[in-house]
Amino acid sequence: MAEQIPPLEYPDAERIPAALAGPSSSLEGLRILVTGLGVSGFPAAVHLAERGAAVTVVDGDAERDETERERILSVFDVDIRRGPEHVAGLPPLAGDAAFDLVVTSPGWRPDSPVLAGARAAGIPVIGEVELAWRVRGTNDARWLVVTGTNGKTTTTTMLASMLTAAGLRARACGNIGDPLLEAVLDPELEVLAIELSSFQLHWELSMGAHAAVVLNLADDHLDWHGGADAYRADKGRAYHGVHRACVYNVDDPATRALVEQAEVVAGARAVGFTLGTPGPGEFGLVEDLLVDRAFIPARYSAAAEIADLADVGAAVGTDAPGPHHIADALAAAALARSVGVEPSAVREGLRQHAPGAHRSAVVAEAAGVTWVDDSKATNPHAAAAALAARDSVVWIAGGLLKGADVSALVAEAAARLRGVVLIGEDRGALRAALAQHAPDVPVREVDLAADVSAGLSAQRRGAPVMEAAVAAAGELAGFGDAVLLAPAAASMDQFLSYATRGDLFTEAAQAWAAAHGAAETDRARPAAETDAP
């Protein structure tokens, strides 16, 4: 019998209703509050109400069209309360009744009035990960968990592709793909490739994955977590209770420190991945080969070839994969090998992998200028990887920095910058960093009125901003430059999401390219900008 790992410390853990265990036990008599009517809150509310709980859903957004979800929930008599007045504190129930449990969606900050009110009242709060772990019942699909500051989605989809290539019934889920709760209720699945954000892990208490990886650690979401230490601790929850392998980044020692601090099942191994030559128990590179020295019998004297750099390039749609792409592939391979996937399936999974949108995607080329959409670079660490992959860049940056420091990012990228276009609410920090570390690089700012998107649909919100940014970048760019959208910041100040930000950039870039055809391919950078570092 597997060793039982104690749950993470949580003052109200003992109050979590035991009836949650299993997918079909009755929840009759339980009053459960679900925060958010989105991609995680909706399936949670449906599942809990189907099992007989009296469910209340609160959502501060009363404008978003949720007609279909509300119609379905009404069948189960779910009490839906939408609007800012319903999230100003813990919502009341009739008489002296109180909630028995709160299930929160990932985006809700721990200090939000609803969640703070619940904790003050001694009502336990869990998230979708804890809920899914408790209700999985007899579903014995192995959990392979992927987290980290950057590269989560690419690694998870690579992993799912490898598992499928091996003939396993697998699915990418969690922060991408299907909601985790829906995945664990599918009895046909054998392995779950699960991307988890720090928000999701914050509310996790008892998960015990088969294997997990923290890809890297850099400051992000510090405003949500309250500081770097809390952010890293939440990432480290992925390793808690691991049964087979804690995969870590040899080149990012902070990830190994999380492994060393984790409570795991006896026999679980630490498995490193590195861009250098791997030691025993590690994955890494030997010339252009990706090799395994962890899950082979002779790991102290031999290595098993699992893929090569061309396979990684095929996986991400480029002939020259960047270091971050290679690291993601190694991490995915380590997780896949932990469940017995053969090297041939690792290689085939990379070859069959379809790269995700808004990740270093070339969206237009004209007049010697390449336009690259990396809108998914929502923090400085991700933006640094995108900038490092290009030699001469006009950079479009800015948005909500979430408390992150951009000084090191700008200092590292300064020699590659041919121009910068700043957008978004937190332009000041980027402007100051550029003045200090890249004073000769020309900078343009898109400073449009807050109501510039008035009257536009949600998907078009921010279009005037992006059109102005692309126009300014086109003026700065010369032959051989890449215009790179890698904002290093979240999008919600001006756009619906990072995806719509990328879509609007793609649309504007392609319009620019259509207006600057082959006849202008000899276009050169203005003389005054030629010597910019």
- Cite the annotated binding site by residue number: 148-154
Q: What is the 3-state secondary structure (H, E, C) of 253-293?
A: HHHHHHHHHCCCCCCCEEEEECCCCCCCCEEEEECCEEEEC
What is the Cα–Cα distance from 396 to 410, expressed in whole angstroms? 13
Name the residue with tokens 């501060």.
60
- Scored b (16 or more CB within 10 A) or e, 150-160 reads bbbbbbbbbbb
What is the Cα–Cα distance from 39 to 374, expressed in whole angstroms? 24
What is the Cα–Cα distance from 210 to 193, expressed in whole angstroms? 11
What is the Cα–Cα distance from 369 to 371, expressed in whole angstroms? 7
Q: Which parts are annotated binding residues for ATP?
A: 148-154
What is the Cα–Cα distance from 291 to 277, expressed in whole angstroms? 9
- Decide if 2 contacts 265 (C-beta within 8 A): yes
- Scored b (16 or more CB within 10 A) or e, 209-230 reads bbbbbbbbbbbbbbebbeebeb
Q: In what order do the strands lie in the sheet with 482-485?
A: 361-366, 369-373, 482-485, 393-397, 417-422, 443-445
Provide the H-helix boundaries in 166-262: 180-184, 198-202, 222-225, 228-236, 253-261
The CA-based dihedral angle spanning residues 261, 265, 267, 270, taken in that order and rounded to the nearest 10 degrees: -40
Name the residue with tokens 């080969």.
289
Number of C-beta neighbours around residue 173 at 10 A:
25
For helices 323-338 and 152-165, the axis angle rounded to 10 degrees is 40
